[in-house]
Amino acid sequence: MPSLKDLRNRIASVKATQKITKAMQMVAAAKLRRAQEAAEAARPYSERMGSVLANITQAIGGGGDAPALMTGTGKDDVHLLVVCTAERGLCGGFNSQIARLARDHIRKLLAEGKQVKIICVGKKGFDILRRDYASMIIDRVDLREVKTLGFVNADAIAKKVIHLFNEGGFDICTLFYSQFKSVISQIPTAQQIIPAGVASAPAEAIDGGNAVYEYEPEPGEILSDLIPRNISVQVFRALLENVAGEMGAKMSAMDNATRNAGDMINKLSITYNRQRQAQITKELIEIISGAEAL
Amino acid sequence: MAEAFKFELVSPERLLVSEQVESVVIPGAEGEMTVMAHHAPVMTTIKPGVVTVKTAAGGEERYVVFGGFADIVPSGCTLLAESAVAVKDVDRADLARRIQEAKEDATDAKDDEARSKAEQFLSQLTTLEGAILPA
């Protein structure tokens, strides 16, 4: 049985922890708002990009001059996985969810006899995947120094991927990130980015009336300029969603922690009070029985 | 007074401009072009340069863009820029850094095609620097 002093110390320490988790929750809430704004601001660009891309693909009509980034190499032997996670922990199951999805995917690919390469974005994913697949990780991108995520960061990652593709380093590239649905739910998602464009094709007939575009320079040339840019945009969007998701997850995790700390303080206070009362009673009995013995 | 149309300047990070304008000068990959209302549908890539926007209210705004493309339809014009800033907010250090990077690209280029591409980009950047720095 802990003494009264021990109990007092524990209550004090739990209270201190509660203050910390509360503060972290508030910081996460503020950051979440900013991350959501950033994601919101990036949306018009990616939407326009999608519609323009659909327009051009339609103009080319799947002709032979579509760049390799779009059509793929025709094989699917080597897979590249870009796994985006957070830089910090203490955000519930956020990182492990993404890592689990990636791991399932890797296992499936390995069972099919494919070769797998991994690029880790963010420290946590690297830490988790390193345990099982250290030999497959070819690169890791550290974003810890980055305060506000810029397009430059995403562009650098995309350039790396495209460079590798042009060297024939892989056939299919899949992006792993967490889709931000709401503060309490983030959905780990796998999205194929190379070869791209298959998904953007059915967006036709949106701009129905003005289908006759003039292209300057040739559509093929625009497309070969556009596709790498589209990959950067996809990566950028994934990173932004990830940040928002991380903050959401952290917020709810810290909210839980704060509540747990509150429960614990209540329980400890009850034990403390009970024990104090027991001690008082004991002392009274001692005094009374002492007086009676006289 | 010329008829106004809708112009949007979008960078991946945010929507910079979305308003009614009279005319827009775009640094297209194959030469500058002025876009006004009822322009024929054109899609063009743009090179690093200055976009001049004449608003319907009569003002004139200038933005520096670093590559991207423009989607022009009779009812409006959307410019998707890789990165865009108002001329008055241009960060000289940033511009210098881009030029330095372009120089490195040009020296590192493996084949002639890549080198000529990098050199072209570099010359566009230096022209741009010359165009805005005295301003």
Residue B41: closest C-alpha in chain A: A213
Range of the domain at A238: 37-251
Task: Confirm or reject contact between B12 and chain A (CB < 8 A).
Answer: yes
Q: Number of folded domains in chain A? A: 2
The angle at the Cα of B80, spanning A199 to A64, to the nearest 5 degrees, equals: 45
Interior angle at CA A39, CA B97 and CA A166, nearest 5: 55
- Looking at per-residue pLDDT, the higher value among A207 and B84 belongs to B84
CA distances in angstroms from A89 to A102, A220, A254, B4, B67, listed in the order given: 18, 44, 11, 52, 37
Residue among A56, A83, A41 nearest A239 (CA): A83
Residue scoring higher pLDDT (A255 or A2):
A255
Note the pLDDT of residue A62: 55
A294 lies in some domain = no
Residues B60 and B112 in one domain: no
Query: Is residue A238 included in any domain, yes or no?
Result: yes
Residues in chain B: 135
Name the residue in chain A with its Cα closest to that of B81: A45
Tell me if A229 is assigned to some domain.
Answer: yes
CA gap A111, B45 in Å, rounded: 44
| Set of chain B residues whose Cβ sits within 8 Å of the Cβ of A55 | 43, 71
Stretch among A117-131, A239-253, B104-118 having the lowest mean pLDDT: B104-118
- Known catalytic membership, residue A91: yes
Closest Cα in chain B to A207: B73
* Distance to chain B for A221, nearest Cα, Å: 9
- Give the DSSP H or E segment for B71: strand B68-73
Catalytic residue among A84, A91, A120, A173: A91
Q: Looking at mean pLDDT, say which of A59-63, B25-29, B110-114 comes out highest.
A: B25-29
Interface residue B30 vs chain A (CB under 8 A): yes
Q: Does one domain contain both B27 and B71?
A: yes
In a domain? residue A29: no
What is the span of the domain harbouring residue B124? 91-132
Same structural domain for residues B54 and B107?
A: no
Q: Do A45 and B12 touch (CB under 8 A)?
A: yes
Q: How far apart are the first and last CA of chain A?
A: 33
Q: Are residues B70 and B35 located together in one domain of the fold? A: yes
pLDDT over threshold 70, residue A32 = yes
Burial of A64 (0-12, 13-18, 19+ CB in 10 A): exposed
A29-33: Cβ within 8 A, 24+ apart: A29/A247, A29/A251, A31/A243, A31/A247, A32/A183, A32/A244, A32/A247, A32/A248, A32/A251
**Rounded CA gap, A81 and A107, in Å?**
12
Q: Which tens digit of pLDDT belongs to each residue from A202-228?
A: 444 444 444 577 887 777 778 788 888
Test B80 with A52 for CB contact under 8 angstroms: yes
* Chain mean pLDDT for chain A: 86
Interface contact A210-B82, CB threshold 8 A: no
Could you report the per-residue pLDDT of A67-101, keeping only the tens digit for each? 777 777 777 889 999 999 998 888 888 999 999 99
How far is it, in rounded angstroms, from Cα A55 to Cα A202? 10
Same domain, A277 and A238: no
Tokens coding A282: 């004991």
Residues A261 and A210 in one domain: no
Q: Domain of B38: which CATH number?
A: 2.60.15.10
Which tens digits make up the pLDDT trace of B58-69?
A: 888 888 888 888
Number of domains in chain B: 2
d(CA B36, CA B45): 18
Q: What is the pLDDT of residue A199?
A: 46
Cβ–Cβ gap A210/B28 under 8 Å = no
DSSP single-letter state for residue A169: -
Please tell me the distance from the alpha carbon of residue B31 to that of residue A100, in angstroms, as a whole number: 50
A43 and A131 co-located in one domain: yes
pLDDT average, residue stretch A127-136: 90
CB contact under 8 A, A215 and B44: yes
Same domain assignment for residues B76 and B15? yes
Q: Which domain CATH number covers A187? A: 3.40.1380.10
Nearest by CB to B15, from A41, A154, A236: name it.
A41
Q: What CATH number is attached to the domain comprising A260?
A: 1.10.287.80
Task: Find the farthest-apart pair of alpha carbons in chain A and give their distance in angstroms, rounded.
Answer: 114
